[in-house]
């Protein structure tokens, strides 16, 4: 039996009745991972790599919180999710411990737009919000989508402010670099050619790696020189100095003796 994010009872029979035959509006299910729900979300923003295990873990987390009402429209003939939208509930002290519904991440598959699926999703999310006692719903959107939300009965109020934190961008950059490196290595190992620009940056990377390796080797040579000087000089040490060498002060002796020798 499939696991749903929230109770099926919260789905409006009226919204379902307005969908074309062969489409069902329902809570997100744990097996929607295999029905392309993340691919759908990637039409809105970056999803990145999310394994099935990660999806299940996040799904269970949201289910336990009981404040997430992610809703999908399912196309029965293809067994795919063709639209998805989120309602997240915020609990407040204001308004006599009231609740607000935040509408988030609305996407209709680009092959299915213009069939009122977007509007039906918003109808459903507003229905859920009322059913669980929210006194309003709010959302952020681009100016481009304002007319769509107006058609769904919402109106413009106030402005949105944002601050995007840098670590996220750095992580993205690192991921891109890792991916580029993997592609370079794959093409090199499989004998495929690189574009002249890619070839240059690849060689630059190899050069940097080689430089780092040589630096390490140079250090080793210096250490070896120091050891050899110590050995040579130890040959002309007095018996007393040899005893000192054996008891562990070779390095100091080496430096002193070398200085004497250079005079
Ligand atoms: C925005 C989106 C969800 C709309 O879904 P949809 O199923 O194509 O829209 P609907 O068919 O339900 O449209 C309902 C009404 O809004 C209108 N509408 C939809 N998008 C519109 C837009 N960008 N500008 C103006 N009107 C729009 C439709 O023409 C329709 O009008 P009608 O009732 O006069 O026929 C969909 O285009 C989408 O997924 N876009 C990419 C992701 C995105 O931007 N999501 C919103 C994040 S805030």
pLDDT tens for the 263 residues of the chain, in order: 899 999 999 999 999 999 999 999 999 999 999 999 999 999 999 999 999 999 999 999 999 999 999 999 999 999 999 999 999 999 999 999 999 999 999 999 999 999 999 999 999 999 999 999 999 999 999 999 999 999 999 999 999 899 887 776 667 777 777 787 887 778 778 877 777 777 777 777 777 777 777 877 776 665 555 444 433 223 333 444 444 444 443 333 333 333 333 32
* Dist. CA 110 → ligand 1 center (Å): 11
How far is the centre of ligand 1, averaged over its atoms, from the C-alpha of 249 (Å)?
Answer: 81
Distance 147 CA to ligand 1 centre (A): 8
Identify the H or E element spanning 169. Answer: helix 166-189
Count how many residues are written for the chain: 263
According to CATH, the topology of domain 8-162 is Aminopeptidase (3.40.630)
- In a 10 Å sphere around its CB, with 0-12 CB exposed, 13-18 middle and 19+ buried, how is residue 116 labelled? middle
Position 31 scores a pLDDT of 97
Q: How far, CA to CA in Å, does 182 sit from each of 34, 179, 186, 188, 189? A: 27, 5, 6, 10, 11
Question: Which residue's CA is minimally distant from atom 2 of ligand 1?
Answer: 118
Strands 80-91 and 23-27: unpaired
Gap between the Cα atoms of 91 and 67, Å rounded? 9
Q: Residue whose CA is closest, atom 4 of ligand 1? A: 118
Domain boundaries, the chain: 8-162, 194-262
Q: Within a 10 A sphere around the Cβ of 89, how many other Cβ atoms?
A: 19
Per residue in 96-107, pLDDT tens?
A: 999 999 999 999
For the stretch 69-90, pLDDT in tens is: 999 999 999 999 999 999 999 9
């Amino acid at each position: 039996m499939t696991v749903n994010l929230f109770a099926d009872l919260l789905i409006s029979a009226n919204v379902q009745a307005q969908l074309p035959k062969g489409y069902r509006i329902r809570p997100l299910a744990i097996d929607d991972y295999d029905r392309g729900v993340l691919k759908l979300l990637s039409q809105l923003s970056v999803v990145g790599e999310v394994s099935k295990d990660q999806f299940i873990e996040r799904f269970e987390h949201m289910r336990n919180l009981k404040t997430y009402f992610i809703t999908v429209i399912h196309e029965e003939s293809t067994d795919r999710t063709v639209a998805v939208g989120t309602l997240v509930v915020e609990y407040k002290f204001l308004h006599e411990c009231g609740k607000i519904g935040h509408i988030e991440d609305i996407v209709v598959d680009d092959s299915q737009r213009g069939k009122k699926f977007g509007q039906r999703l918003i109808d459903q999310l507003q229905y859920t919000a009322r059913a669980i006692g929210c006194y309003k719903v709010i959302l952020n959107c681009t100016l481009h989508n304002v007319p769509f939300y107006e058609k769904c009965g919402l109106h413009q109020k106030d402005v949105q402010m944002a601050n995007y934190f840098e670590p996220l961008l750095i992580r993205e950059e690192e991921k891109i670099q890792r991916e580029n490196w993997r592609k370079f290595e794959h093409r090199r190992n499989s004998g495929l050619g690189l574009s002249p620009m890619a070839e240059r940056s690849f060689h630059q990377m190899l050069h940097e790696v080689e430089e780092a390796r040589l630096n390490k080797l140079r250090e080793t040579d210096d250490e070896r020189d120091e050891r050899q000087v110590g050995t040579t000089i130890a040959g002309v040490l007095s018996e007393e100095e040899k005893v000192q060498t054996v008891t562990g002060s070779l390095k100091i002796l080496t430096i002193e003796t070398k200085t004497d020798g250079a005079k």
